[in-house]
Amino acid sequence: MCQPGWAAARTAAVRLRELKDLRRVRDRIDRTYASPLDVPALAREAGLTAETLHRRFTRAYGTTPYAFVTALRTSRPAAVGSRAVSEKHTGTPGT
């Protein structure tokens, strides 16, 4: 017979593994945000279907993978542009 806390522990372990896999997917999107987003390929790497990846990513991060990469693409050029302006005005890189 199972101990009463085992089911909860098993559920928590599955959830942590799921979050670890999603973090790996999110990091991959973050590293390759400039290239086209291929959700089916990301899902295959995570061992999931595209629909399951989309559902779990949305549940974990509150945004879809497409919205996440769109937000990265709009925020990153702004950061790069501000650094370039800083270098232009001060003459020193990164200050």
Count Cβ atoms within 10 A of the Cβ of residue 86 and give its class: 0-12 exposed, 13-18 middle, 19 or more buried: middle
Closest CA to 28 of 81, 85, 83, 68: 68
CB distance 49 to 43 below 8 Å: yes
Predicted confidence (pLDDT) per residue in 55-86, tens digit: 999 999 999 999 999 998 898 775 555 555 45
What SS3 class is residue 44? helix
CB distance 94 to 55 below 8 Å: no
Closest CA to 37 of 15, 53, 21, 56: 53
**37/69 Cα distance (integer angstroms):** 8
Q: What is the pTM of this model?
A: 0.66
Q: DSSP class of residue 36?
A: P
Select the more confidently predicted residue: 14 or 63: 63
